Amino acid sequence: MAVQTLDRGATDAAAAGAAPAPGASLAHIPGDNGWPILGHTLPLLADPKGFVERRAKMYGPVYRSRAFGFVSIALLGPEANELVLLDSRKVFSSRLGWGMILERLFPRGLMLLDFDEHRLHRRALSVAFKSGPMQSYLAELNAGIAKGVARWPRGRAFKFYPAVKQLTLDLAATAFLGAEIGPEFEAVKRAFIAMVAASIAVVRAPLPGTQMGRGVRGRALIVDYFNRQIPLRRERGGEDLFSQLCRATWDDGSLLSNADIADHMSFLMMAAHDTLTSSLTSFVYRLAANPDWQEKVRGEQRGLGLAVDEPLPFVRLDDLPLTEMAFKEAMRLAPPVPSLPRRAVRDVEFMGFRIPAGTDVNINPLYTHHMPQLWPEPERYDPTRFAVEAARERHKFAFVPFGGGAHMCLGLNFAYMQAKCFTWHFLNRFRVSIADGYRPDWRMWPIPFPRDGLEVTLDPA
Ligand code: HEM
């Protein structure tokens, strides 16, 4: 791979997070800055996938563009993903990349920490994702999903996306915060929704009446809730994720501070919520549009030999390879995090281009997942691409819905577990279909979702 760091150490400006003046030191990178003021913001928003594909055709896999007032360099393809995600020379800051979007509302979440500090926090949190706690979360997911899907209407068209969004939020309440959260949940839920909406708001100042204003108020409420709950959770225990973090320790055995727990909890809830909603929505759409695969997946679930209303046992999660392949293929076509931002804190070279310290860069799972060299007939839904043999032959960074390297999604196993648990309860009860010729329009960025909510019909399976 044509990669080399120009090891002059991080400059003061880069370490402080300053980006180079728009376009100035990047004139040697192919590309342009687009229209005055707006740059490429509008075409990027209108068609994020087409925009990147057009520019890759025009300029190649390393190009410069300007959107939302910032010049950045796109690094496309599996080699670029490997360079940025593995980051063996500690060149790419996740904090400075995600900071502009997430810092105000989700400060000091794992993606907002870098290098050694990040490693310490990640190690402290990972206790909450070990198999013991995961089994307790699965028990909550089983109960919550069975109850939730039982309420969905049958025999008429209904909008799947808002329904599964609500379900995911309710599941977060029990698996993340504990079943006994009680009446405060409605306020916590509203606050959380306001924070997530604000993180991608165009107006970044927390002015009254703006999304950011509501988001900042939401954060204050949630932090207050966590602060009040931490001593109670430590006293009475509990198997939910919040209670796990209340007991989590640093390497020296001391407990995490209240502020750390509050920051990590809000970040975890945010990281889980829209990604699960998006991936389950595109999964159900693909199953509805590909009834042959829906039958295969249902057949695999029934082959477990469990009664229809039994919970899915933790020990059977690995017995669902077709379900996993079908879910992966849905995430290939619509990765819930379509692009990942970083900022270089040292000079680095990639494919012969020098990328100076302070440059904002982006890698792009959405683009990589549609490269015809890696995925023949890329628009076709074909879960057999994830059969063990086929997967072994592909570049390790060709499929990156969960990122990779130090910041690889900490909730990856949780996500697969929830997807399998959802599929178990959903396909056991329902046959899902869409109207003939229906092709919902997806907004692919910042997180893919069907603009019309995805109309499906559920009939008894
Ligand atoms: C289908 C569902 C999900 C997808 C596609 C997804 C995707 C991702 C991606 C791409 C990253 C890396 C971002 C980067 O490197 O810039 C990430 C990080 C993260 N995700 Fe997920 N995620 C999912 C579900 C979850 C769930 C359920 C949780 C928690 C229970 C979670 C917690 C996290 C955390 C804590 C990080 C930060 C890790 C770090 O910086 O060390 N995610 N996720």
pLDDT, averaged in runs of 10, over the chain (461 residues):
38 45 76 94 94 98 94 98 97 96 94 98 97 96 96 97 95 84 83 88 87 95 94 91 95 96 95 96 98 98 95 98 98 98 97 96 98 98 96 96 98 98 97 97 94 98 94
Residue nearest to ligand 1 atom 24, measured at CA: 272
Q: Which atom of ligand 1 is nearest to the CA of 278?
A: 1
Nearest CA to ligand 1 atom 17: 409
How much is the pLDDT for 9?
37
Q: Which numbered atom of ligand 1 lies nearest the CA of 110?
A: 40
> Can you give the pLDDT at residue 405?
98
Kindly report each contact of residues 207-212 with a partner whose C-beta sits within 8 Å and lies 24 or more positions away, as own/partner. Answer: 212/104
Burial per residue of 271-281, b for 16 or more beta-carbon CB atoms within 10 angstroms, e otherwise: bbbbbbbbbbb
Instruction: Give me ligand 1 centre to Cα 204, in Å.
Output: 24
* CB of 342 closer than 8 Å to CB of 84: yes
Given a contact cutoff of 8 angstroms between Cβ atoms, the answer to whether 175 and 240 are in contact is: yes
Distance from residue 404's CA to the centre of ligand 1 (Å) = 10
Closest atom of ligand 1 to CA, residue 414? 27
What whole-number distance in Å separates Cα of residue 455 and Cα of residue 284? 11
CA 280 to centroid of ligand 1, rounded, Å: 15
CA of 186 to the centre of ligand 1 (A): 25
User: What's the gap in Å between 339 CA and the centre of ligand 1?
Assistant: 13
Residue at token pair 């502020």: 259
Angle among Cα 42, 47, 50 to the nearest 5 degrees reads: 120
Give CA–CA dist 415/279, Å, rounded: 9
Interval between CA 277 and ligand 1 midpoint (Å): 13
Positive or negative, the Cα torsion across 327, 333, 336, 338?
positive
| Residue of the CA atom closest to atom 36 of ligand 1 | 409
- Cα 151 to middle of ligand 1, angstroms: 29
From the CA of 438, how far away is ligand 1's center (Å)?
31
Quick one: pLDDT at residue 7? 37
**Interval between CA 437 and ligand 1 midpoint (Å):** 34
Q: What pLDDT, on a 0 to 100 scale, did the predictor assign at position 19?
A: 53
Name which of 147, 252, 113 is nearest 139 in CA terms. Answer: 147
**pLDDT for 173:** 83
Nearest CA to ligand 1 atom 19: 409
Residue pair 345/15 in contact (Cβ under 8 Å)? The answer is yes
- Measured from CB, residues less than 6 Å from any atom of ligand 1 are 94, 110-111, 122, 268, 271-272, 275-276, 279, 336-337, 340, 401-403, 407, 409-411, 414-415
Q: Encoding tokens for residue 239?
A: 């198997």
Measured distance between the N- and C-terminal CA atoms of the chain, rounded to whole angstroms: 50
Which atom of ligand 1 lies at the shortest distance from residue 331's CA?
A: 5
Structure token pair of residue 243: 């209670």
pLDDT (0 to 100) of residue 11: 39
Q: What is the pTM of this model?
A: 0.95
Q: Quick check: 91 and 344 in contact, CB under 8 A?
A: yes
CA distances from 448 to 195, 282, 418 (A): 18, 8, 19
Q: Whose CA is nearest to atom 27 of ligand 1?
A: 272
Encoded tokens for 16: 């402080």
- Nearest Cα neighbor of 145 from 119, 160, 167 is 167
Q: What is the CA radius of gyration of the chain?
A: 22
371, 81 Cβ separation under 8 angstroms = no
Distance from C-alpha of 236 to C-alpha of 425, rounded to nearest angstrom: 32
Q: Measuring from atom 16 of ligand 1, which residue has the nearest CA?
A: 340
